[in-house]
Amino acid sequence: MTTESIIDTSRPSAGRIYDYMLGGHHNFEVDRQAAEQIIRLLPFLPKYMRLQRWCLQDLAIELTEHRGFDTIVDFASGLPTNDHIHHVVPAGTKVIYSDHDPVVVEYAREILADTPNVYFFQADARRPEELLTRPMVQEIIGDRRDVALVYWGISIFLADEEIAHAARTLYDWADPSSCWVFQAQGTDLNTGTTELNETAEIYRKMGSPIYYRSLTQMQRFIQPWHADEHQFISLLDWHGMDQREMTAEDIASFGPAAGGYGAYLIK
Amino acid sequence: MTAPVDIHSPSFPTQSGDDLLVGTFRRALQETQFTNTRIPPRRMQQIVSAMARAFEAFHDKQEPASVQAHGQRLAQDGLSHQSILAAVQVVYNLSYTTDPEHQTALALAHGYTTALLEGYMQEREAQLLREQERTRRALDRARVGVV
């Protein structure tokens, strides 16, 4: 993500590859070729990405209906299609989406049109302060800091120090009653290292390096935040998926955590 | 007008026809759930219930327009073509089960699935064109913003 020319449609983009794997049409031939190359290495990846996406609405329901949040700030949102947060939250909930890619921002604003209480800004998840200090965001949130913050589907693209910076920035900004929903992506993977390394190389060449870590490492970078009583939950458990719906090969590839964990982080 | 098939017939001894329809659609669509990228599995109950209601309504009134609208709605929801084909297969299988002679069942299933697929495909094509145009406009605006 760091050096990617995101408006250059002649080169593959990590965001558009993600869209392709989700079955979207906001991608081009160059993205599809790169995506197919990755899928050959990690055949389970489209399923994993879909599972990851499905969890978004689960967390939105948990945050609003069970934890009482009425403001959600989502970083690196991608396209706000009908499977995203704002489709399931109660009326009146403020949802602030953001994405680094200006094309995604423009496209998103068309999708959202005049949807009340839903906003979309261009911002980089590596520097959350840029979004939180925007005058329009400050106008929407006001002085309140009891909001839900979301980093879902982005941590694999963040370097160690970028995660640590985001954690510290959000910690300093947020109220003690806030919650940071965090997906520890690409952790404790079960797949052979050759395939993982080759996949990482493809992303590195397109200017979007990815990082694999253990959950323990990830937990160190997000300090001083810590998971609530539910701890880190595998994506399968998060979505309540029946393990029987996965093939034995899927489960072997996803690993014990289905390729990642999610957690509600508290101060 | 063909004679209606009794989807609540005694050939479904353990469940009502409606339960059977919902259950059969659910099982069929479970196998294709990872192809429904925009529909989380927990929403499938709602989708399969709508499918059952649409089929029952067609069975009673035989109005292709409402089935087309149902097909359009499924496309809008993000149901994959693999899932819509699984649903079509369910309709045929159920019709065969309830009508051993097959003639009436075939006519009903054909009428229903044709209208369903017409609506679904019309909407998918419209979606593709809308998305193509959105992408073009988004690229144009983003490039202007960068300059």
Per-residue pLDDT of chain A (267 residues; tens, 9 = 90+): 433 445 778 889 898 899 899 888 888 999 999 999 999 988 888 888 888 888 998 999 999 999 999 999 999 999 898 889 999 999 999 999 999 989 889 999 988 988 999 999 999 999 999 999 999 999 999 999 999 999 999 999 999 999 999 999 999 999 999 999 999 998 887 666 788 889 999 999 999 999 988 899 999 999 999 999 999 998 888 887 766 666 777 766 666 666 689 999 999
Q: Which residues of A touch B45 (CB under 8 A)?
A: none
Q: How far does A49 lie from chain B, in Å, by closest CA?
A: 9
* Burial class for B16, CB neighbours closer than 10 Å (0-12, 13-18, 19+): exposed
Enumerate chain A positions whose Cβ falls within 8 A of a Cβ in B.
7, 9, 22-26, 46-47, 50, 53-54, 57-58, 81-83, 102-107, 110-111, 239-241, 245
Which residues are CB-contacts of A83 (< 8 A; sequence separation ≥ 6)?
A: A53, A54, A56, A57, B37, B38, B39, B40, B78
- For residue B139 the two structure tokens come to 């690229």
The terminus-to-terminus CA distance of chain A in angstroms comes to: 28
Please tell me the distance from the alpha carbon of residue A97 to that of residue A118, in angstroms, as a whole number.
8
Please tell me the distance from the alpha carbon of residue A106 to that of residue A100, in angstroms, as a whole number.
11
Note whether B34 and B89 are within 8 A (CB).
Answer: no
- Whole-model pTM? 0.85
Q: Which amino acid is at B115?
A: A
Q: What are phi and psi of B25, to 5 degrees?
A: -60, -45
- For residue B43 the two structure tokens come to 């929403």
Please tell me the distance from the alpha carbon of residue B139 to that of residue B137, in angstroms, as a whole number.
5
Confirm or reject contact between B141 and chain A (CB < 8 A). yes
Please tell me the distance from the alpha carbon of residue A71 to that of residue A76, in angstroms, as a whole number.
17
Of A24, A54, A103, the CB nearest to B40: A54
Q: Which residues of A touch B131 (CB under 8 A)?
A: 24-26
Please tell me the distance from the alpha carbon of residue A108 to that of residue A80, in angstroms, as a whole number.
6
Q: Which residues of A touch B39 (CB under 8 A)?
A: 83
Q: Smallest Cα–Cα separation from A90: which of A110, A112, A63, A114? A: A63
Q: Which amino acid is at B42?
A: R
Of A83, A107, A111, the CB nearest to B38: A83
The interaxial angle of helices B17-30 and B44-61, nearest 10 deg, is: 130
Q: Smallest Cα–Cα separation from A155: which of A146, A145, A171, A166? A: A166
